[in-house]
Amino acid sequence: MKNKYIPSLTSILMSILFAITLPANAGGLSKAERSQYTAMLKAINENNAAAVEKFIKDKIRLDLQEDSRAAPTFMTQAALKGNNDIILALLKVGADIESTNGDGYTPLLCAVLMDKLETVQLLISKKADVNATAPNGDTPLSMAKYAAKSNKTMIDVLVKAGAR
């Protein structure tokens, strides 16, 4: 008679195999990284440039991101909020202007989505891809054209920059 409380040899071997082959944080961020990520996003949401500068000075990893749908990067969150000083600070230390959130949206797509004209202009001036395409087919221009309240100035800025 098999004891239901004793794991099978196969399950033990599988557990060992996964423990050997997967990095410790394969499912996402470590506890320390998650804490940094959350605190940095809070600073960005509050447009707290001084706190962001401190994180940068303390060498926060610019690529920290939760492994989930719609999880923002620091750049996409700053673009959603229209926090241009923070965007400039992040770019200055090497943040990726084309980083994508969990939905595949770049900072430029996020800025267009939130109707942040000055942020769109800033990102374009820093060479953001005006023809970036999200996984669902959205482009900055298509989003600007079909927004609930279409922004003609934003459409003109995108077209002038080469958006198709």
Distances (CA, A) of 149 to 22, 47, 113, 152, 155: 47, 25, 11, 9, 12
17 vs 86 pLDDT, higher one: 86
Q: What percentage of the chain carries pLDDT values higher than 90? A: 76
Q: Output the pLDDT for position 66.
A: 86
| Contact in structure between 153 and 159 (CB atoms under 8 Å) | no
User: pLDDT confidence of 149, banded at 50, 70, 90?
Assistant: confident
- Angle at alpha carbon of residue 13, lines to 12 and 15, rounded to 5°: 65
pLDDT tens for 72-116 read 999 999 999 999 999 999 999 999 999 999 999 999 999 999 999
Q: Output the pLDDT for position 68.
A: 77
Q: Output the pLDDT for position 148.
A: 67
pLDDT tens for 45-55 read 999 999 999 99
pTM attached to this predicted model:
0.81
> What integer is the mean pLDDT of 56-68?
92
What CATH class does 27-160 carry? mainly alpha
- With a cut of 90, say whether residue 63 has pLDDT above it: yes
Mean pLDDT score across all residues of the chain: 86
